[in-house]
Amino acid sequence: MKGLDTFTGFSILGRYLTISLFLTALLFTTSAQSQVESSVDTTQIKIGEQITYNIQVETDSTNLVVFPEGQTFLPLEMIESYKIDTTKNESTFKLIKSYGLTQFDSGSYMIPKQKIIVGSKTLYTDSLMVKVNTVAVDTTKQKLYDIKPMMEVEQVSGNGWKYALIALLFTALCAFLIYWFIWRKKPLTEEEEIALLPPYDRAKLALKKLDESNYLQREELKDYYSELTFIIRKYLDEKVYDRALESTTDELVDRLNMLKDANQIELSNDDIKNIETILKRADLVKFAKSAPDIELAKLDRNTIDIEIDQVKEALPEPTEEEKLLDQQYREAQERKKKRRKIWLTVMAGILLLVAVFVGFGLKYGFKYVVDTITGNESKQLLESEWVQSDYGVPPIMISTPVVLERVENQAVDTLKQVKMTMFSYGDLESPLNIAVSTTKLPKTDKENEVDLNLVVEGNIKMYENNGVQDIIVKKEQYITPNAAEGLKAYGTAQFPTDKEGEYRSGEYIILAFTAENVIQQVIMVWNNEDDYANQIIDRVLASVELKKVDN
């Protein structure tokens, strides 16, 4: 369907200007003429002064009279619209409508013809010439000064940098929190530092802390012996027998003797006997409420200190294989810790992204957030910096997401006197298609009125010729914000896609206006299932205005 490029209601200017065929068939109907009077209180003013422009209509009392509203007096500007003055004259009414007009630039200006609707007839006033004079300045009283030099004005930037800064600060905060709680080497607590010591140093430090306690001063021998025996049992558990903490005294002593007999530990009988004596005394203190002398308790502490040294001396030196296994174990533990940190970082990042997505989704809508992430084309157009520009002569002012490009006329004009200019964006295959066209018809001696219904039918015919199906057409009167009246045709249809035989649902709007020998059109086609495209069309439609130019 590439032949549909830049199709904007006329399909490359109507494929041999088929619209020209419709122009030849336009119904020219001579509008009813009627005398209306228009006048101004003065034909010469100074810059900024006000002219009172009056329109007088005399009509039957049964007719509804509609006077012009809005900026229809360009190039003069309407600054005030006065109430209608009504006077009865026998069976008719004389209506006088006044307007306050002004101009802020010197020169001669033509107040254009004004359209008045009386019942079913359309009447026009005569055009009037007004001269705007400059204000003379007495340079002897009012000093003149040189023109001030040009000054550089800083370009006002949008709010994009604010959002970028907020995103940067938020990312930095998240990175800092992940570093602080996961990757930072945290200072070790006293317990963690003790846990990292070798078993021998840990046992010696535990004895030193036992000396600093007040157990003996308070004669708390049970707690004292519990701590003392835990120190020797813990050391034996880590270096000799891995069940020393849970074994009874007899079981532990038997195990030490067995290891000694098997030449796995070089402890003397006296060393084993000393350990056994202290363990059994501790059992009596803990379970039989025995109360040995304080000095004996101190002696037992010193004996345990000596036996820890003896056990260390009795332990065989670790082999190279054991050292290697120990090193590999430590490295494996480090890798395990690193993997854990990586997984925690990944999980924190995922949770953070999910939280941000949910937060923005709840505030702005999940579809909006997804479209922002995926870069939805229609959304980008809607939120881009729009362009307001005039197209054609007389100009059609319209605001669009992008500048409309001129479409070159490569067709054969069957009506040599018909001139058309067109500007467009997109084509039928795009989610959005906007076109603005101005067609100048040959001038005639008499004033004629173009049938806009035929103009709309010409566009509908173009759609059908280009494969559009199931076209539903609705029509209504349309008035622009600056009071230009025209015809609006709109509806739904099935538009072809770039795949053979496939169609998509869409909507279209055709705005048609006519003035003297000019036809002006604004044509829009879009995917009505695209919410952003619907918003774009609403905004474009609200911006359409027609401007008048001097003849």
Predicted local confidence at residue 417, as pLDDT: 62
Question: Which of 102, 133, 164 is the last residue in one of the domains?
Answer: 133
Query: Looking at this protein, which amino acid is placed at residue 303?
Result: T
Task: Kindly state whether residues 417 and 538 are assigned to the same domain.
Answer: yes
Tell me, yes or no, whether 267 lies in a domain.
no
CATH number of the domain where residue 397 is located:
3.40.1000.10
Task: Kindly state whether residues 6 and 74 are assigned to the same domain.
Answer: no
Sign, CA torsion 13/16/22/28:
positive
What whole-number distance in Å separates Cα of residue 93 and Cα of residue 112? 25
Task: Kindly state whether residues 432 and 521 are assigned to the same domain.
Answer: yes
Mean pLDDT of 168-195: 81
Mean pLDDT of 91-95: 80
What does pLDDT average to over the chain? 81
Tell me, yes or no, whether 160 lies in a domain.
no
Task: Kindly state whether residues 84 and 121 are assigned to the same domain.
Answer: yes
Predicted local confidence at residue 547, as pLDDT: 77
Confidence of residue 35 (pLDDT cuts 50, 70, 90): low
Task: Kindly state whether residues 16 and 59 are assigned to the same domain.
Answer: no
**Residue 159 confidence (pLDDT) above 80:** no
Six-digit token string for 291: 């109360």
Give the gyration radius of the chain's Cα atoms: 49
Give bridge partners of residue 488 from the DSSP assignment: 476, 511
Six-digit token string for 70: 């809005």
Task: Kindly state whether residues 393 and 450 are assigned to the same domain.
Answer: yes
What whole-number distance in Å separates Cα of residue 197 and Cα of residue 480? 87
**Residue 239 confidence (pLDDT) above 50:** yes
What whole-number distance in Å separates Cα of residue 442 and Cα of residue 235? 113
Mean pLDDT of 21-38: 47
CB 439 within 8 A of CB 23: yes
What angle, 0 to 180 degrees and rounded to 10, lies between the N-to-C axes of helices 221-239 and 249-261? 30
Predicted local confidence at residue 9, as pLDDT: 38
Tell me, yes or no, whether 214 lies in a domain.
no
What whole-number distance in Å separates Cα of residue 386 and Cα of residue 371? 20
Q: Indicate the range of 334-338, 357-361, 386-390 predicted with least confidence.
A: 357-361
Task: Kindly state whether residues 85 and 118 are assigned to the same domain.
Answer: yes
Tell me, yes or no, whether 109 lies in a domain.
yes
CB 489 within 8 A of CB 507: no
Query: Looking at this protein, which amino acid is placed at residue 502?
Result: E
Task: Kindly state whether residues 428 and 540 are assigned to the same domain.
Answer: yes
Closest CA relative to residue 403, chosen from 373, 427, 426, 374: 426
Q: How far apart are the first and last CA of the chain?
A: 42
Task: Kindly state whether residues 24 and 80 are assigned to the same domain.
Answer: no
Task: Kindly state whether residues 103 and 60 are assigned to the same domain.
Answer: yes
**Residue 22 confidence (pLDDT) above 80:** no
What is the 8-class DSSP label of residue 469? B
What whole-number distance in Å separates Cα of residue 420 and Cα of residue 240? 103
160 or 546: whose pLDDT is higher? 546
Question: Which of 133, 162, 196 is the last residue in one of the domains?
Answer: 133
Predicted local confidence at residue 548, as pLDDT: 67
516 or 259: whose pLDDT is higher? 259
Question: Which of 67, 99, 133 is the last residue in one of the domains?
Answer: 133
Please name the residues in contact with 103: beta carbons below 8 A apart, sequence gap of 6 or more.
Answer: 45, 47, 75, 76, 77, 109, 130, 132
The 10 Å CB-count burial string (b at 16+, else e) for 301-329 is bebbbebbebbeebeeeeeeeeeeeeeee
Please write the tens of the pLDDT for every residue from 296-322: 999 999 999 999 999 988 887 777 776
Tell me, yes or no, whether 501 lies in a domain.
yes
CB 549 within 8 A of CB 394: yes
317 or 173: whose pLDDT is higher? 173
Residues of the chain with pLDDT > 90, as a percent, come to: 25
Q: Indicate the helix (H) or strand (E) that contains 366.
A: helix 366-374
Confidence of residue 18 (pLDDT cuts 50, 70, 90): very low
Q: Where would I find the H helices in 196-268?
A: 199-212, 221-239, 249-261
What whole-number distance in Å separates Cα of residue 237 and Cα of residue 229? 12
Structural domain range at position 93? 48-133
Sign, CA torsion 251/255/256/258:
positive
Q: Indicate the range of 141-150, 239-248, 421-430, 482-491 predicted with least confidence.
A: 141-150
Confidence of residue 195 (pLDDT cuts 50, 70, 90): confident
Tell me, yes or no, whether 256 lies in a domain.
no
Tell me, yes or no, whether 286 lies in a domain.
no
Domains contained in the chain, number: 2
Confidence of residue 23 (pLDDT cuts 50, 70, 90): very low
Task: Kindly state whether residues 22 and 98 are assigned to the same domain.
Answer: no
Task: Kindly state whether residues 78 and 9 are assigned to the same domain.
Answer: no
Tell me, yes or no, whether 77 lies in a domain.
yes
**Residue 393 confidence (pLDDT) above 70:** yes
CB 416 within 8 A of CB 426: no
